[in-house]
Amino acid sequence: MQRVLGIETSCDETAAAVVDLEGNVLGETVHSQIELHARIGGIVPELAARDHARNIDAVVRRALDLAEVALDDVDAIAVTARPGLVGALLVGVEFAKGLSLGSGKPLIEVDHLIGHILAIHLRRSGPGASLVHQTPVFPFLSLLVSGGHTGIYRVEGPRAEDIVELGATRDDAAGEAFDKVGKALGLGYPGGPVIDRLAKTGDASRFPFASPMPSKKSAEFSFSGLKTQVMRFLESHGPLSETELADVCASFQKAVVDVLTSKLVAAAEREDVTRIAIGGGVAANRELRERITDLGVKKGLTVILPELASATDNAAMIAYAGALGFSRGECASLDLDPSTETSIAAQTRKGRGQRG
Ligand X SMILES: Nc1ncnc2c1ncn2[C@@H]1O[C@H](COP(=O)(O)OP(=O)(O)OP(=O)(O)O)[C@@H](O)[C@H]1O
Instruction: Provide the 8-state DSSP code for 352.
Output: T
Cβ proximity to ligand X: between 34 and 240 the closer is 34
Of residues 111 through 150, those in contact with Mg ion by CB under 5 A are 146
Burial of 188 (0-12, 13-18, 19+ CB in 10 A): middle
Contact 63, 77 (CB under 8 A): no
Does 343 participate in binding Mg ion (rule CB under 5 A)?
Answer: no
Interface segment toward ligand X; rule CB under 6 A; list 92-100, 244-252, 276-284, 346-354: 276-284
Distances (CA, A) of 147 to 10, 169, 203, 342, 343: 12, 12, 25, 14, 18
Q: Sketch the per residue contact string, 116 through 155, with ligand X: x for CB under 6 A, - otherwise.
A: x-----------------------------xxxx------
Does 312 participate in binding ligand X (rule CB under 6 A)?
Answer: yes
Does 188 participate in binding ligand X (rule CB under 6 A)?
Answer: no
Report the SS3 class of residue 153. Answer: strand
Instruction: Provide the 8-state DSSP code for 324.
Output: H
Of residues 313 through 332, those in contact with Mg ion by CB under 5 A are 313
Considering the complex, what minimum distance in angstroms separates the CB of residue 8 from ligand X?
9
Q: Which does 178 bind (CB under 5 to 8 A by kind): ligand X, Mg ion, none?
A: ligand X
Does 285 participate in binding ligand X (rule CB under 6 A)?
Answer: yes
Cβ proximity to ligand X: between 106 and 182 the closer is 182
Considering the complex, what minimum distance in angstroms separates the CB of residue 190 from ligand X?
4
Phi and psi based region of residue 120 (left: phi greater than 0; alpha: psi -120 to 50; beta: remaining): alpha
- Alpha-carbon distance 188 to 126, whole Å? 32
Q: Which does 45 bind (CB under 5 to 8 A by kind): ligand X, Mg ion, none?
A: none
Rounded to 10 degrees, the C-alpha dihedral 272/308/42/242 comes to 100
Does 190 participate in binding ligand X (rule CB under 6 A)?
Answer: yes
Contacts (Cβ under 8 Å, ≥6 apart) of 82: 10, 89, 109, 111, 112, 338, 339, 340, 341, 342, 343
Chain residues in the site for ligand X (CB under 6 A): 10-11, 84, 112, 116, 146-149, 175, 178-179, 190-193, 196, 280-282, 284-285, 312-313
